[in-house]
Amino acid sequence: MEYSTRFKKTISIILMDRIIMHVDLDSFYASLEEKRTPGIRDKPVVVCIYSGRAEDSGAVSTANYKARGLGIKAGMPIKQAKRLAEGTDRVFLPADKEHYSDVSDRIMDLLEDYSNTLEQVSIDEAYLDVTEKTGGNWVRAEETAEEIKEGIKGGEGLTCSVGVGPNKFVAKMASKHKKPDGLTVVRIEEVKAFLENIPVIELHGLGPKTADALYELGIETAGELAAFDLVRLEEEFGRNRARFLHNISHGIDDSQVEHREKQQIGRIGTLKEDTSEPEVVFEKIKELSGDLGNRVMGEGVRFRTVSLIFVDTTLKTHSKSETISETDDIEIVLRVAGKLLKEFLEENWGTRLRRVGLRVSNLSRGREQKTLTEF
């Protein structure tokens, strides 16, 4: 093949119109609990993460739609959720992550059959590049989405919301558009109208900080953001962030759907009471390290960086990390953690801790790395 032709072909593969799907399982944890305990289906169901610090301390992980109707939302303190649910026949349950994880794995396996590349973003969400499987045909893509919904319904008895679009961002926004049990297809020529009136805070990847900054500039919707001068945006947010904002407001997103390897594994926990006692904190770290060790083993990874995460009484987060030579030994993690804890406590005299976490990163998989001398 002539060089220039090959070049064009490469370009065309990269820039070819794609059809991307985003699948989002509806109030996943709560739906699984509804399945497990028949009879709670039409009650408010609230799945919680209890911190163990006091009765009802902790936060809401997932609320079913009945509970959402009462104003209960993920992230909310359990106490507050209980107040909102007062007088109703409501169900509060602790999260059973292991079970949810098993079901998630089965669903991801099912999704794998519908695309060449599956990108799992979280326990209940994934992107699929269905360009090849559908031959770039949007009608077939919509049929595929319906097939997936039926498959998950038939296999696991769960509903999901699916978005189909020309890229990951639009697909994600589309899946958000109608839920639960939704299916939204946004073709390239429909992107502009679809995004135009969406408030900026609802744009994926744009959080409260950025939204506030945009309101200051008089920008409230994606359409207004799209029309805003890019140079002014760059002055405000810097080159990269401005580019990102500009692009998503126009529904532009060239990022590929790709299988992602985990890059870090961590565990964090809440202390029984606020403390700056090294012994108490280290006990918690030991507890966390057991769990972490199991997960590191399960993933079959080795790591180079060990981090401690500290949340003080004001809820400010600090971290301390050290990079060492590659290992998979959790005893070494504990040794490094002890050292980092000592350093932190010396550098932050009198800081009382509420929560503490342990994390390993700089992961590598597969065979044990040969040292230079063995080479």
Partner DNA sequence: CGACGTGTAAC
Partner DNA sequence: CCTTTTACACGTCG
Q: Which residues are catalytic?
A: 125
259 contributes a contact to DNA by CB under 7 A: no
Q: What are the residues whose beta carbons fall under 8 Å from the beta carbon of 184, sequence distance 6 or more?
A: 161, 162, 163, 164, 174, 175, 177, 178
Number of residues that bind DNA (CB under 7 A): 60
If phi > 0 it is left, if psi is from -120 to 50 it is alpha, else beta; for residue 9 that is alpha
Rule CB under 7 A: choose which of 187, 318, 339, 352 binds DNA. Answer: 318
What is the C-alpha to C-alpha distance for residues 78 and 83, in angstroms, rounded to an integer? 9
Task: Judge contact between 274 and 315, C-beta under 8 A.
Answer: no
- Give the binding range for DNA (CB under 7 A) out of 1-9, 198-206, 274-282, 364-372: 198-206
Residue placing its CB nearer to DNA in the complex, 137 or 321: 321
Rule CB under 7 A: choose which of 43, 49, 287, 338 binds DNA. Answer: 49
Q: Give Cα 46 to chain centroid, integer Å.
A: 20
Rule CB under 7 A: choose which of 78, 145, 198, 301 binds DNA. Answer: 78
Residue placing its CB nearer to DNA in the complex, 108 or 138: 108
| Helix 230-237 vs helix 239-249: crossing angle, to nearest 10 | 130
Rule CB under 7 A: choose which of 163, 165, 223, 357 binds DNA. Answer: 357
Q: Report DSSP letters for 141-180, one per residue.
A: HHHHHHHHHHHHHHHHS--EEEEEESSHHHHHHHHHHS-S
Q: Which of 357, 342, 359 is nearest to 276 (CA)?
A: 342
Cis peptide before 208 (omega within 30 of 0): no
Q: Which of 216, 174, 217 is nearest to 198 (CA)?
A: 174
Task: Judge contact between 200 and 206, C-beta under 8 A.
Answer: yes
Site for DNA in 125-144 (CB under 7 A): 125
Minimum distance between the CB of residue 174 and DNA, rounded to whole angstroms?
13
Minimum distance between the CB of residue 139 and DNA, rounded to whole angstroms?
27
58 contributes a contact to DNA by CB under 7 A: yes
Residue placing its CB nearer to DNA in the complex, 19 or 301: 301
322 contributes a contact to DNA by CB under 7 A: yes
Cα pseudo-dihedral 106, 107, 113, 117, rounded to 10: -110
Site for DNA in 264-293 (CB under 7 A): 264-270
241 contributes a contact to DNA by CB under 7 A: yes
- Give the binding range for DNA (CB under 7 A) out of 31-39, 105-113, 126-134, 311-319: 311-319
Q: Which residues bind DNA (CB under 7 A)?
A: 49, 51, 53-54, 56-59, 61, 74-75, 77-79, 121-125, 203-211, 238-241, 260, 262-270, 295, 304-305, 307, 315-323, 354-355, 357, 359, 362
